[in-house]
Structure 1
Amino acid sequence: MIYPIVAFGDPVLKTRAKDIPADFPADELKQIVHDMYDTMYHAHGVGLAAPQVAKGIRLFVIDSEPMIDNEDEETGEPLPDAEKGVKRAFINPQMVLETGEEWGFEEGCLSIPGVREMVYRHETIVLRYEDENRQPHEETFSGMTARVIQHEYDHLEGVLFTDKISGFKKQLIKGKLTRISKGDVNADYRMRFAGQGRR
């Protein structure tokens, strides 16, 4: 099932998501994870958090492979220390540590189509989480994968990438954000707008 993606302006995007209890039905959770992957790929995304599909639970999925350039630009040969993409579901994640120099990258979001802004994030993170089989992990991620995880983790905290830009930049995109919240947007995937249902 492909979910409609919640657009900027819906309160679910600004609300901290709740932990998924240990007794949550395993089959139902696996189905949600499966459907979130389908939704993410359908919208050509590299990450999707449960609040973006109107579910206020601490879950996100990523596939960072499309964001990573593992080849030498001149020769086309694989880089020796190339970062590997990660495809994974993260359940009840907890950020343990963010380290390294902050670096900028122009981010976008499926809930805010057509808007991209420079966001600075830490190079390396340590994350504690459960996989879709509810097995616990604590793992270190870096580079682009760490960025994708930080972006999706923010969604679970009720934080959008537009919250991380300067007041001046926010003023510049205010009109765009207002139009998105009202459903005046071009996206090649179904969206759901606050107070308007889906489209």
Structure 2
Amino acid sequence: MIREIVTDPILLSRPSREATMEDLTIAADLKDTLRAHADHCAGMAANMIGQSVRVIAVFVADQPLVLINPQIIKAEGRKYTAEEGCLSLPGTRRAQRFEKLQLRYQDEQGRIKQRTFNGFTAQVIQHELDHCEGILI
């Protein structure tokens, strides 16, 4: 189900709790909402649709990938300054990002995965992980 985007900075500033398998409907709604905004959004965190759980969705090769309870194992490459926008907030802001991330997460079937992401996808994941921590850029 496509959900409304939360724009309240107070709600977005709350750190998210760990997700459980009972939160899979949130993951599905997040994926649907990301697809609905595909023309101007590369990723979303669950708190952007009003659910403070550690679930994010990002486009990888034009398909939404859901990451449940994502954790950075390793951040590599040079740290650079990115100019980022956010669907929940007006304008753009600067943020420090790493070029490469190694993540551990659960997929939508609850399987633990480990994967490396580079470039723009790594940047988007870092932005969404900030949302999970209640950090607004």
Q: Report the TM-score, using the length of structure 1 for normalisation.
A: 0.62
- Where does residue 157 of structure 1 map in the other structure? 133
Which letter does structure 2 place at the counterpart of 1:150? Q
Which letter does structure 2 place at the counterpart of 1:145? T
CA distances 1:138-187 after superposition (whole Å, capped 9, x unpaired) = 111111110011111111111112xxxxxxxxxxxxxxxxxxxxxxxxxx
- Where does residue 139 of structure 1 map in the other structure? 115
* Aligned residues of 2:105 and 2:114 also touching (Cα < 8 A): yes
User: 1:101 aligned to 2:115?
Assistant: no
User: 1:56 aligned to 2:32?
Assistant: no
User: Paired residue for 2:93, among 91, 109, 117?
Assistant: 117
* Aligned residues of 2:34 and 2:64 also touching (Cα < 8 A): no
Which letter does structure 1 place at the counterpart of 2:55? L
Choose between structure 1 and 2: higher strand proportion.
Answer: 2
- Where does residue 6 of structure 1 map in the other structure? 6
Q: Give the drift of 1:129.
A: 0.4
Q: Partners in 2 of 1:64 and 1:110 — Cα distance?
A: 18
Q: Partners in 2 of 1:127 and 1:41 — Cα distance?
A: 23
Q: Report 1:1-199 matches (<5 A).
A: 1-9=1-9, 11-21=10-20, 24-25=21-22, 29=24, 31-43=25-37, 44-65=40-61, 87-113=64-90, 115-161=91-137
Which letter does structure 1 place at the counterpart of 2:15? R
Residue ranges of structure 2 left out of the alignment (5+ in a row):
none
Identity %, equivalent residues: 36
What is the RMSD computed on CA atoms of the aligned residues?
Answer: 1.8
Structure with greater Cα Rg: 1
